[in-house]
Amino acid sequence: MTNVLISGIYPDRQQEEAKQQQAKEALVTSVSACPLHAPPIAAAQQVLQYSLTCEDESMREALKLITPTKDNFRTGDYKECFNWNEISQEFHKQLPNFAHLPRRHPDDLSWYAVVFRSQRRVDCSNADLFEADKQAYEEAFSATNGSLLVYWYTGLDDQHNCLATCVWSSRDIARSVNSLPRHREAARLSADVYVHYHIDRYRIEWAPKNQTLKVEPW
């Protein structure tokens, strides 16, 4: 089992700092009409642990193929903007490779996806945000023994829109990492850097009869 962090190329710090300085010099008024604040941080709680299963490890491998299929994937429909058919085929193909692992219950063949969409302020430090985000998800992977199956993001488009998505083996495990130190730090750094942001949650469910993945709002 290996850590899966799939992303675009991390931004060059010098280039990002130069862009940030240019943006500050050109900025006359805030691009945010209503300043945002970091979401409330949950009280410390026990981080739940992941146990290896055939289906989860097959999904981890399949999600390495995740690719946008539409140019507007940062703002478009999550279930329509990625190659879920291809991921479905790869998941089914991978199952025999992990047949030695315990199986999930036939009635429990779903995964928890979180989609974070945002529009960044033009004067924010993208390099710092990307690095803090990366460290937070590496921390979550380690603390949960690998429940984080994939973390995927790209850079900003021309309107500074961004999408980041992660898929977990379990909703409960995903929610248990909110109070980890690097997650708290990432939340602190993200305060007031967005024009707006929105979080969606999806259930990715395997339908054995059709051998397809269904992606629906949680």
Residue-range definition of the domain harbouring residue 112: 48-217
Residue with more model confidence, 154 or 4 = 154
Residue 117 placed within a domain: yes
Report residue 33's pLDDT band, with 50, 70 and 90 as the boundaries.
very low
Range of weakest confidence among 18-22, 45-49, 123-127, 130-134? 18-22
For residue 51, what pLDDT is reported? Answer: 87
Q: Is the pLDDT of residue 122 over 80?
A: yes
Return d(Cα 16, Cα 179) in angstroms, integer. 29
Which pLDDT band, with edges at 50, 70 and 90, does 15 fall under?
low
Q: What is the pLDDT of residue 1?
A: 42
Is 174 contained in some domain? yes
Question: What phi and psi values does residue 190 have, to the nearest 5 degrees?
Answer: -80, -5
Does residue 20 form part of some domain?
Answer: no
pLDDT score, position 117 = 93
CATH code of the domain containing 129: 3.30.70.100
Dist CA 169 CA 147 (whole Å): 5
**Structural domains counted in the chain:** 1
For the chain, the average pLDDT equals 81
- The average pLDDT across 19-40 equals 37
How far apart, in whole angstroms, are the C-alpha atoms of residue 64 and residue 55?
Answer: 15
What band does 199 get if pLDDT is binned at 50, 70 and 90? very high
Establish if 132 belongs to a structural domain.
Answer: yes
CB 68 within 8 A of CB 115: no
For residue 41, being part of any structural domain is answered with no
Stretch 167-179: mean pLDDT: 91
Identify the pLDDT of residue 37.
33
Distance, in Å, from the CA atom of 73 to the CA atom of 186, rounded to the nearest integer, reads 24
Residue 101 lies in a domain: yes
Give pLDDT, residue 85.
Answer: 97
Residue 177 lies in a domain: yes
Query: Which percentage of the chain shows pLDDT scores above 90?
Result: 52
